[in-house]
Structure 1
Amino acid sequence: MKQIRIDAFGPPSQVVRCCEVAAPGAPAAWEVLVDIDACAVNLADLARIAGHYGELPKLPATPGLEAVGRIVECGASVSELAPGDQVILMANDNWCQRRRLPASLVFKVGAPLDPLQLAGLKVGACSALELVRRQAALAPGGWLVQTAPLSAVGRAVMQIARQDGLRTLNIVRRPEAIAEVLAAGGDVALEDGPELVRAARAAAGSAPLTVAFDAVGGDGVARLAALLDSGGTIVNYGMLSGRPIQLDCDDAIFRGIGVKGFWLTRRLARMTHAQRDALLAEAVELVRAGVLRSEVAATYPLDAIGKALREAAQPVRPGKVYLLPNGEPGAIGAGGSAR
């Protein structure tokens, strides 16, 4: 079968290779065998391949934080899953055609949905759910401020916020992105720069601005702090700028602006099995209801992995890049048709 491998960390499109490996054998008693239908390519995947991430795999390694597939075979002791079930894989290392893994590391979807809409839930949608509903927990009508609104997490934040009756003030780094954000469901979109604080305050009126989600870092964090009310919190979950966070001492000391990090990997590791499944179920039901929807930029087979990663690394894309290890998946259920 085909599998993506890396033998050294480095530029993602250069160090990955598609190779032929032996297919996994029959599952042990508590394992399942899964055919992989789709894998979302995330910036976190690129960072792990490059060797610049919070945790790195032992080399040689197979990348891939996300995947959705169908169960082919269950071990003798597995009773709650059956061949044909659509499942989201909670394990990493998923860029391959078939996987054998513990049954505890898959989540059964229930009535099948579009694989491409499910393949990005573990990272993007679950991050957005934790940010909006747990880190912010605002009352209906409240305002969320965020950077990188056209990222997978940013789009999901806008979709969940609108469902929950919240409003989003979205900060972009290029003027042409303003129309894209508004079309994607943002309430306000502003270009970052010297006039950001004044424009943000004008847009929100007298409404409090108490929380901001940041995926960029760098000097933009100081402007986020300046536009928040005293006692506000910046939740940093990304490092798109590649630069350290900057925060004015006045904002930290005299206005009580706080900065904290959010990393879904750590959050998931601290969850019980039931809590993790509840989070996935929450995301799946939002897909089923049509609240969450990912835009698809392109799909690639495993043997075009270099091209796929080059496209995924582009700073401006109309949506996510996906790998289809076993060819085009069928379009089933609600949540949009597969491409």
Structure 2
Amino acid sequence: MKQIRFDAFGPPSQAARCCEVPAPGAPSAWEVLVDVEACAVNPADLARLAGRYGELPKLPATVGLEAVGRVVDCGASVHDLAVGDRVILIGNDNWCQQRRLAASQVFKVAPELDPLQLAALKVNACTALELVRRHATLERGAWIVQTAPLSGVGRAVMQIARHDGLRTLNIVRRSDAIEPVRAAGGDAAIVDGPDLAQAARAVTGSAPAMLALDAVGGDGVARLAKLLEPGGAIVNYGMLSGKPIELGCDELIFRGIGLKGFWLTQRLSRMTHVQRNALMAEAVELLRLGVLRAEVAATYPLDAVGRALRHVDEPGRSGKVYLLPNGPIDSGAGDRQRASPVLAAADPL
């Protein structure tokens, strides 16, 4: 079968290669065998390939935080899953055609749901749910401040916040991003800069903001603190700037601003099986209701992984890039799949 592997850390599109490896074989008593249908490509996947992630594997290794697939075989002791069931793969290392894994490491979903949307739930939607609903008690109408609103997590934050009756103040780097943010569901968008606090007050008036979600780091975090009420919290979950966080001691000491980090991989590892499944069910239900929806940029076969990863790095890319390990799938984005010339094009090995 085909699998994406890498032998050294480096530029993701150069490090990742498509290999032929032995098939995983029949499942043991408590395992299932899954044909992988779709894998969403995330910044964390690229960071792992580049050697800049929070945990790095022993090389050679494979990669892939997200996937959805169909069960093709069940072990003798597996009774709550059946051949043909569609499942979200909870574990990592999913960029391959087949996975054999413990039945406890998959989450069964309704067959009618779009597999491309399901393949983007574990990272973006679950991160957004944890950020919006777990870090502060917010009343309806309250403002949430966030950076990187057009990222996958940022879009999910806007969608969940609107569903929960919350409002989002979205900090962008360029004025031409304001309208796309509003179109994506943001209540307001302002450009970062020295006058950020004044611009924010003009939008929010006297309404308090107690929570800021940051994916960037750097000196912008100090400006975020100025937008929060005393006792507010900043949650950092990304490193887009590549720079250390800057925050004045006076914000922490005199205004009681809290600063903490969030890493979904660590969070999931500390959950019980029941807690993790409850989080997945929460995300799937929001997808079923039409609250959550990820934009689809393009789909690629495994042997075009280099092109897929270069696409992820393209400036101005809108939507997620997916790998389809076993070819085109039936989904709401089917027309986009058929229109993409890269589906039949492979990178030279």
| TM-score, normalised relative to structure 1 | 0.97
* 1:1-339 correspondence runs (5 A): 1-331=1-331, 336-338=332-334, 339=337
Show the counterpart of 2:342: none
> How far apart in 2 are the matches of 1:155 and 1:278?
22
What amino acid maps onto 1:221 in structure 2?
V
Where 2:179 maps in the other structure, the secondary structure is helix
Instruction: Give 1:226 shift.
Output: 1.2
- Contact 1:63–1:94 (Cα < 8 Å) also in 2: yes
Structure with larger RCO (C-alpha < 8 A, sep 6+):
1
- Contact 2:296–2:333 (Cα < 8 Å) also in 1: no
Deviations 1:52-109 (A, max 9, x none): 1111122111110000000000011100000000000011000001111111100001
Deviations 1:17-43 (A, max 9, x none): 001111111111111000000000000
- Contact 1:30–1:102 (Cα < 8 Å) also in 2: yes
Instruction: Give 1:262 shift.
Output: 0.7
Where 1:201 maps in the other structure, the secondary structure is helix
Instruction: Give 1:315 shift.
Output: 4.4
> How far apart in 2 are the matches of 1:139 and 1:9?
45
> How far apart in 2 are the matches of 1:175 and 1:56?
37
Gaps of 5+ in 1: none
> How far apart in 2 are the matches of 1:299 and 1:110?
22
Instruction: Give 1:236 shift.
Output: 0.3
> How far apart in 2 are the matches of 1:315 and 1:238?
18
Deviations 1:181-215 (A, max 9, x none): 00000000011111111011111111101110000
Q: CA RMSD in A?
A: 1.0
Where 1:260 maps in the other structure, the secondary structure is strand
> How far apart in 1 are the matches of 2:184 and 2:295?
10
Aligned residue pairs, count: 335
> How far apart in 1 are the matches of 2:16 and 2:233?
39
> How far apart in 2 are the matches of 1:234 and 1:171?
14
What amino acid maps onto 2:41 in structure 1?
V
What amino acid maps onto 1:282 in structure 2?
E
- Contact 2:90–2:122 (Cα < 8 Å) also in 1: yes
Deviations 1:305-331 (A, max 9, x none): 011111112343111110011111112
Deviations 1:217-253 (A, max 9, x none): 0010010011211111100000000000001222122
Instruction: Give 1:337 shift.
Output: 4.3
> How far apart in 2 are the matches of 1:280 and 1:142?
26
- Contact 1:145–1:209 (Cα < 8 Å) also in 2: yes
> How far apart in 1 are the matches of 2:137 and 2:325?
38
- Contact 1:43–1:313 (Cα < 8 Å) also in 2: no
- Same amino acid, percent of matched pairs: 74
Where 1:216 maps in the other structure, the secondary structure is coil
Deviations 1:257-308 (A, max 9, x none): 1210011111111111011011001101111111100000111111110111
> How far apart in 2 are the matches of 1:263 and 1:110?
28
Instruction: Give 1:137 shift.
Output: 3.3
Deviations 1:165-192 (A, max 9, x none): 0000000112111000000000000111
Where 1:39 maps in the other structure, the secondary structure is strand
What amino acid maps onto 1:78 in structure 2?
V
> How far apart in 2 are the matches of 1:327 and 1:4?
15
Where 2:303 maps in the other structure, the secondary structure is helix
Instruction: Give 1:142 shift.
Output: 0.7
> How far apart in 2 are the matches of 1:24 and 1:269?
24
> How far apart in 1 are the matches of 2:59 and 2:173?
36
> How far apart in 1 are the matches of 2:216 and 2:98?
35
Where 2:25 maps in the other structure, the secondary structure is coil
> How far apart in 2 are the matches of 1:316 and 1:74?
43
Instruction: Give 1:136 shift.
Output: 2.8
| TM-score, normalised relative to structure 2 | 0.94
